[in-house]
């Protein structure tokens, strides 16, 4: 076989389906939980498949803050502006204090920020759960696609071998 680059068309097809399935499931998981306040992360979800030579990759393109949702954060003081924006988008209704007084948006942002400074934020593991679920469906499909492609390559090798005799 003169060309050392092997072709795996069945695998490519299944990997494209896999990337789309991960993106779709992840978006569905984001919209079904209480994670999609602004919709920015949801709207940013894109999968990219690349096939360069014998290297096949699937990448998920997401807003940078996905990792804080996925893995949570350690205790820290978050930016007040970000919390104020989140309060408006979500929306977060204020509850009266023990004297019956409602906090202002800035006071509410401070209270939320203080809690994050003490406890951090919890990991949601949405992407990890998505990949685990999609892998259950697609691993067998990937193995089958590789088998079909290798059978095709074996036929080409045998044909080339018998022609050279």
Per-residue pLDDT reduced to its tens digit, 83-111: 999 898 888 888 888 999 999 999 999 99
Task: Check residue 116 and give its pLDDT.
Answer: 97
Specify the 3-state DSSP secondary structure of 165: coil
Split at pLDDT 50, 70, 90, the class of 59 is very high
Split at pLDDT 50, 70, 90, the class of 3 is low
Polymer length of the chain:
165
Task: Check residue 53 and give its pLDDT.
Answer: 79
Q: Tell me which H or E stretch contains 48.
A: strand 46-52
Q: How many Cα atoms occupy the beta-carbon half-sphere of 82 within 13 Å? A: 7
pTM: 0.83
């Amino acid at each position: 076989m003169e060309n050392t680059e092997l072709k795996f068309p069945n695998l490519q097809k299944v990997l494209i389906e896999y990337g789309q399935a991960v993106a779709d499931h992840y978006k569905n998981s984001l919209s079904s939980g209480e994670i999609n306040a602004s919709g920015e992360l949801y709207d940013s979800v894109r999968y990219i498949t690349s096939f360069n030579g014998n290297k096949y990759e699937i990448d998920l393109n997401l807003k940078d803050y996905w990792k804080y949702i996925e893995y949570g954060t350690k205790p820290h003081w978050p930016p007040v502006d970000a919390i104020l924006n989140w309060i408006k988008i979500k929306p977060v209704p204020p509850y009266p204090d023990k004297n019956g007084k409602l906090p202002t948006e800035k006071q509410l942002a401070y209270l939320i920020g203080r809690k994050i400074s003490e406890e951090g934020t919890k990991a949601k593991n949405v992407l990890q759960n998505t990949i685990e679920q999609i892998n259950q469906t697609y691993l067998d499909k990937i193995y089958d696609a590789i088998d079909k492609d290798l059978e095709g390559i074996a036929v080409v090798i045998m044909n080339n071998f018998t022609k050279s005799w």
